[in-house]
Amino acid sequence: MVKVKIINDNREFEIPGNRRILDLLKDLSLNPDGYIVMINGKPVPEDEYVNDSDVLELLRVFSGG
């Protein structure tokens, strides 16, 4: 299982891994353009694969004036 941490929302949960981050975000109903994705503390592109032993951290992007 992949440990998922949504940093801004203080949420943590586990989901099955071995799939692309983009697919995982869609399954969670999260907009891929709205998050910086990190695997084991390193920023990665959304086409990267996440494995069962990984820790996936999602940092929501804020913008505005």
Q: What is the pLDDT of residues 41-58, one digit of tens each?
A: 999 999 999 999 999 999
- What's residue 39's pLDDT? 96
Alpha carbon distance 51, 54 (integer Å): 5
Nearest 5°: the CA angle 11, 8, 37 is 90
Domain ranges of the chain: 2-60
- What's residue 14's pLDDT? 95
Contact call for residues 9 and 28 (beta carbons, < 8 A): no
Alpha carbon distance 13, 45 (integer Å): 21
Contact call for residues 46 and 21 (beta carbons, < 8 A): yes
Q: Which fold has domain 2-60?
A: Ubiquitin-like (UB roll) (3.10.20)
Q: What is the pTM of this model?
A: 0.86
Nearest 5°: the CA angle 13, 23, 1 is 35
